[in-house]
Amino acid sequence: DEGNKSNITSNSKSSDSFYIPNSDASEESNIEDKRTSETSTKNGNKDLSKTSNNTTLETSIPLGHSAPDDTNMFVQSVGRRCKKDFCVYCRTEQTKLSYHLIRIHKDEKEVKEIIYLPKGQSKRRILINEIRKKGQYLFNTNSDINTGELKVMRRPNSEKNKNATDFSICPQCKSNYSKSALRHHYRRCTKKNSTDHKAILSKSRRISCRIHESASKILRDRVFPTMKDDSVSKVIRYDELAIDYGNKLCEKYHDPHFYDMIRQKLRQIGCLFLEIKNQNDKIDDLFTIFVPDNYDNCLKAVRNLAGLNESGTGFKTPSLATSLGTLLKQLCKRCITIMIKRRDKIRRKLAEEFLSLLTEDYAFSIARTAVETQLRKKRHSTVLLPTKDDIKKLETYLSDRMKTAYDSLKEKFSVIAWEALAEGCLLSIQLFNRRRPGEIERALIEDFQNYQEVNKNTIGAAYVSLSNDEKKAAEKYVRFTMRGKLGRTVPVLLHKQMLDNLKLLLSYRKTANVHSNNPYLFGVPGTLKGDYRYLRACDLMRRYSEECGAPNPDRLRGTNLRKHIATMCTNLNLRDHEISDLANFMGHADKIHKEHYRQPILSREIFHVSKLLEVVHGKDSDEEIDVEESDLPNVSSHSLDCEESNVSEYSTDKNKSLSSPSQVNHKDKKKRSTSPFGKCVRRRWTEEEQNITRATFKHHITSGIQPSFKEIQKMKDENPHVFANRSCATIKAWINNQMKKKKK
């Protein structure tokens, strides 16, 4: 246990920082709660009664307005002329702001505080700087006031050749600093040792609001701020059609985990837009693309982005070619909708003609080649499934960590132990239930608390009729349902010990600094109000698969685990309704289960299909015989990853059913099974064997229901001398042949 505890400590140090709660999380949440927007006073001046410590991290610029595009702004360098500040009261530029405030605005509340303080005092200088920063923020973000200049706190040297895009707003005081120095200023400004430079820049973009005025609140606050700030994002953030399309995506997909998908689509639009502009420099915005004259430019841009080879027979990235075609069609439809609203018949007609070209021609020009490339790559790809040893090592490693963390939390709360227990529970549930990573990581507390168990209270008198094995399973597991892919309701099974782990985890959520409104079962502390974060199963699986010492850690992935269970169940020869039950539990349709998750097994195609082909070619006999189980190869041992499995009895049954085809022209002729695997030991059934088997399984033969191996073994135990040389699989195959005869 001591070794596990030290292991937990060392692993937590390498984990993502947002998993570990700290004082910053709660303090910044309090800042969010205390935010108040700046209100207008008489003559349109700003009320600065609130200091910069109370400024909002939410969008300070109201919806329907936007800040000027910084790509069209400039920054004055040092020495060119005197630096001018912007007065927030009279909205004029002033060379000496402090003198101007005392002379002109001495009746303002904040200025009175400055006047009462003696010159040279640090507090006086701080108050003047606060007013200076307020004016600077107003000037830099108000399109009606701004003259094209970006006012910054420290002007750059002329030889550094910096422009406006090299500066960002401090999320705390709202003054502009160089991006390279912003994190150092932010640490002094907030008096917190914050080192997450990306998070600071994200907050900065959030309050600067450099985006089209029609952008929705979600686009302003959640989608664009965390998007990479490069030429791709800059080309679409002020484009009306791109923003309108983004708004519609936000209306359609409400859950926060869809924001990554929205960013991806918008960036694809940006890449396509830049490539089309390279083809035709007369294109100014996305609206001008959708005219028939630009259709060929669009095709050329798609081919360049997707990487069409020299021979024109394949793409480097075929999925991008198909997705860009879908995006073009959706954007064109949005363009038509907007033109209908504007009553612009000319541009509407041009867009409709472009859409007609796209619908008719794109499949021939690009889509067909892209699909063929995808199929060829899929056919040549090798799917390596995890072995039993891989899964066992990961399962054991997770169990040990959870036990150590559980015992540690029972004694005393520790952030490290709480994290280890949460991560272990998440991966263990995913591993056992083979759930998709995105589903289980977004499991809700509300769903978990509605878990159900099988007992006398839930199923009543039916509980008495359960077998001993079923009662043991009922005592061992509980079940809850949650949202799966495409809105499906999918079940999750939990061991009773896992249930205790999750209850302990939830009891320490407040102590672990997880926001009380965070709805996720595996929620972690967040730094912004409304930013409810959770553990990421994919990242954890990647890390833990390496740490557990599995022989093939790269095979332990969510999709591979789902393919593993679908493929292994192939050897069990499940009936259609059993396959349907498994597919429903996994959260997908039967067709997806068979075509996507179930992988082709080399052994089945060589052994079973070749046998069927030989039977069809006339290799038959007129005697009813059996092939001993020992003469057949172990099908499972030849699966994709050569993993061990004890399912040979089931696969033998499949061999038997294939080896007894019906004879259409000779119905009364006896049939036999033939083995394509070389010399076999064949033994005719005696009359005594047949009579006992028919009498014992008369009901099964009549109803067409196969007996279980347990029932067959019971018959063997009752007649040990009769069936001494018969295996359960052989007897079951003979019963299967009798049922087929019964149907004729």
- Each residue's pLDDT tens digit, 547-594: 999 999 999 999 899 888 888 877 777 777 777 878 778 887 767 766
Distance CA 160, CA 157 (A): 6
Residue 524, H or E segment: strand 523-524
Q: In Å, how far are 119, 156, 268, 273, 302 from 317, measured between CA atoms?
A: 66, 42, 13, 18, 11
CATH topology of domain 388-597: hpI Integrase; Chain A (1.10.443)
Q: What is the per-residue pLDDT for 544?
A: 95
Contacts of 736 (CB under 8 A, 6+ apart): 653, 656, 657, 660, 706
What stretches of 548-627 show up as alpha helix (H) in DSSP?
Answer: 558-568, 576-586, 590-592, 602-604, 610-616
Q: Helix 388-411 crosses helix 496-507 at what angle (to 10 degrees)? A: 40
228 contact partners, CB below 8 Å, separation of at least 6? 267
pLDDT the model gives residue 710: 87
Task: Name all contacts of 647-650 with Cβ < 8 Å and 24+ positions apart.
Answer: 647/568, 647/571, 647/572, 648/729, 649/709, 649/727, 649/728, 649/729, 650/571, 650/572, 650/573
pLDDT tens per residue, range 545-558? 999 999 999 999 99
**How high is the pLDDT of residue 44?**
36
What's the maximum distance between 2 C-alpha atoms anywhere in the chain? 121
| Phi, psi of 206, deg, nearest 5 | -65, -40
Helices 109-116 and 122-141 cross at an angle (nearest 10°) of 150
Other beta carbons less than 10 A from residue 379's beta carbon: 7
∠430-434-437 over CA atoms, to 5°? 50
Residues in the chain with pLDDT < 50?
A: 1-59, 621-678
Amino acid type, 85: D
- The residues near 141 (Cβ < 8 Å, ≥ 6 apart) are 60, 61, 67, 68, 208, 209
- Nearest CA to 537 among 390, 655, 426, 617? 426
Query: In whole angstroms, what is the distance from residue 423 CA to residue 415 CA?
Result: 12
End-to-end CA distance of the chain: 65
Provide the pLDDT for residue 611: 76
Which pLDDT does position 131 carry in this prediction?
A: 93
The per-residue pLDDT for 680 is 58
> Which tens digits make up the pLDDT trace of 720-743?
888 888 888 889 888 988 888 877
Q: What percent of the chain has pLDDT over 90?
A: 47
Q: Residue 444 phi/psi, 5° resolution?
A: -95, 150
Closest CA to 324 of 302, 300, 346, 303: 302
Residue 303 DSSP one-character state: H
Predicted TM-score (pTM) of the model is: 0.71
Report the alpha-carbon distance of residue 118 to residue 107 in Å, rounded: 18
Cα 496 from Cα 455, distance rounded (Å): 14
- Could you give the CA distance from residue 204 to residue 198 in angstroms, rounded to a whole number? 10
Which residues are registered as beta bridge partners of 332? none
Q: In this predicted structure, what is the pLDDT of residue 249?
A: 96
**Calpha distance 430→437 (Å, rounded):** 7
- State both tokens at 682: 């064949």
Distance between CA atoms of residues 712 and 49, nearest Å: 87
How high is the pLDDT of residue 415?
A: 93
Q: How far is CA 45 from CA 6, 48, 654, in A?
A: 60, 9, 85
Q: Are 72 and 148 spatial neighbours (Cβ–Cβ below 8 Å)?
A: yes
pLDDT at 529: 58
